[in-house]
Structure 1
Amino acid sequence: MNATAGTRTAESGRWFHRPLPRPEARLRLVCAPYAGAGPGTYRPWAERLPADTELVAVRLPGRESRLREQLPQEWPSLARDFAAALEEHIASPYLLFGHSMGAMLVYETAVLPLVRPPERVLLSGCRAPHMPRAQPAIHDLPPEAFRAALGRLAGTPPDVLADPRLMAMLDPMLRADIRLAETWARPAPEALPVPVTAFFGQDDDVAPPDAVAAWRSLAPHGFRAHRIAGGHFFLHERARDLLGLLDDEITLCLAERRRSDGS
């Protein structure tokens, strides 16, 4: 491997964290985080997944070990870079899961011409791209109003919001992520080339149930939807329920592969 190729491999490898490596796994669950989050969001899931499934958590630019990298500014380049990292570092078969902004990244990546597409995309707490934003935008609010809005969303821990120095450090990353999520729209979206499963919180006012159900129109290869009690962050509020449904999805995926392989 030449020096340029080695650098490229190292850079794309920064995208992924495997909290419990399982190199012999039959399936990989690749999880993209919501706005402002990192791979630690999914770390507790690793030991709770089936033993033949490896959790791979996504680390976006501009945070943790990628702190010096430019924050994502627009969807096309972010999706292309993520797709390149998937092709190089994630073995098939795999599932792509994302919550909120992470689901937007999953969609933008899955509609690209991937050499090895996922078996299925799992879209959690996310409106379809042709559905309007349900809440007013907050990414350009003044600092105090921005912190208050984050508190109402309940995705940022209260102790983080209460720490002025920490918030000053995190503010650019949070705003960049939320701006991407809030400005995401595709009036005439492409259909997904793989089956889709959507998860929605029954009391979610950021991604209301009808806005999540609209993914059905973009899923010509199959669609399932699961309702979960809770609001926008049901993946934390109802983690056990969500993980149970993910276990079911993994089981179904492996069974479908066995049938397609004729085994």
Structure 2
Amino acid sequence: MGVTPDPRRWFWSPEPRAYSRIGLVCLPGLGGDAAMFGSWPEALPPGVRLWGVRLPGHGSRMAEDPVDDPDVLVGQLADAVLSIPEPDIVLFGYSMGAVLAFELARALETAGGTPTALVVAGRGAPDADVPPVQVRNRSELVAFLRRLGGVPAEVLEDDRLLDLVLPAIEADLRLSEQYAFVEGELLSCPVLAVAGRADRLWPPDQVGDWERHTSGPFAFQVVAGGHDFIHTNPKVLISVLSQFILEKACG
């Protein structure tokens, strides 16, 4: 861990409505940014403050070079999370962000800052086999993103918008390809895994395999939708997440 960074660089977070005890750190999926969590704060329970992660090369940090080394990125994120003022930290990761959240939880436990809970969505367990994304050109990448879901259609159909978001997406694909699970101590925190019932990329049975990666309590929920259920079914996801935070993690 290095010098504690300014959390305003790494996170988007609204001012808390009242005293907040729980910091909910949210990591987006492929090419995503903290903006995807912009509507969440009003739906969260009192006392929970959202901290949406701003990755280098994404969104408001688009001018920076993206980080495509998982170990480097997790180390930087761990330093940033340790600067969050709330005493209880819950990590949430969607798709690619789920693996980053898992490794972040490991790093925090090693540093003595054990998270209160980990919530993963739309991704199989970190030791699952991940088929490589084989795209040879821009049109094939766009076709892949269209099948995957999660990137708005208006972005995929606008070359100017694509020019803005594709560098982050390509960096995240490299990040995913470089990730390699390494056996280690089980997490000790509670874990909730959430799957989309119609997710063809990460079916529910593979998402349920997260149970073997914690010695703490484990919960598993299947919600309506495909891989992009975080966009198509956000109210249900937030409800499941909130209930878990209050009843399992902080009850």
Q: TM-score, normalised by structure 1?
A: 0.87
2:194 corresponds to 1:166 = no
Q: Aligned AA for 1:131? A: A
Residue 125 of structure 1 corresponds to 122
2:12 corresponds to 1:17 = yes
Residues in 1 aligned to 2:114 and 2:249: alpha-carbon distance in whole angstroms: 16
Pairing partner for 1:224 from 214, 219, 222: 219
Pairing partner for 1:110 from 59, 80, 105: 105
Q: Aligned AA for 1:124? A: A
For residues 1-263 of structure 1, the aligned pairs below 5 Å read 9-10=5-6, 12-22=7-17, 24-112=19-107, 113-133=110-130, 137-138=133-134, 140-186=135-181, 188=183, 190-253=185-248, 255-256=250-251
Q: Aligned AA for 1:224? A: A
List runs of 5+ in structure 1 lacking aligned partners. Answer: 257-263
Aligned pair in 2 of structure 1 residues 225, 149: CA closer, same or farther (>3 Å)? Answer: same
SS at match of 1:111: helix
Larger CA deviation: 12-21 vs 223-232: 12-21
Aligned pair in 2 of structure 1 residues 194, 142: CA closer, same or farther (>3 Å)? Answer: same
SS at match of 2:16: coil
Query: What's the RMSD between the two structures over aligned residues?
Result: 2.1
Q: Aligned AA for 1:9? A: P
Residues in 2 aligned to 1:190 and 1:204: alpha-carbon distance in whole angstroms: 29
Alpha-carbon offset, residue 187 of structure 1? 6.1
Aligned pair in 2 of structure 1 residues 149, 97: CA closer, same or farther (>3 Å)? Answer: same
Alpha-carbon offset, residue 178 of structure 1? 2.2
SS at match of 1:173: helix
Alpha-carbon offset, residue 205 of structure 1? 1.4
* Structure having the higher Rg: 1
1:52-81 residue CA offsets vs partner (Å, 9 max, x unmatched)? 211111111112332222211111000000
Q: TM-score, normalised by structure 2?
A: 0.91
Residues in 2 aligned to 1:151 and 1:254: alpha-carbon distance in whole angstroms: 36
Q: Aligned AA for 1:159? A: E
Residues in 2 aligned to 1:90 and 1:82: alpha-carbon distance in whole angstroms: 15
Q: Aligned AA for 2:31? A: G
Alpha-carbon contact 1:36-1:174 (below 8 Å) kept: yes
Aligned pair in 2 of structure 1 residues 9, 37: CA closer, same or farther (>3 Å)? Answer: same
List runs of 5+ in structure 2 lacking aligned partners. Answer: none
Alpha-carbon offset, residue 189 of structure 1? 5.6
Residues in 2 aligned to 1:236 and 1:165: alpha-carbon distance in whole angstroms: 23
Q: Aligned AA for 2:128? A: M
Q: Aligned AA for 2:5? A: T
Aligned pair in 2 of structure 1 residues 100, 23: CA closer, same or farther (>3 Å)? Answer: same
Alpha-carbon contact 1:96-1:122 (below 8 Å) kept: yes
Q: Aligned AA for 1:137? A: V
Alpha-carbon offset, residue 51 of structure 1? 2.0
Larger CA deviation: 71-80 vs 234-243: 234-243
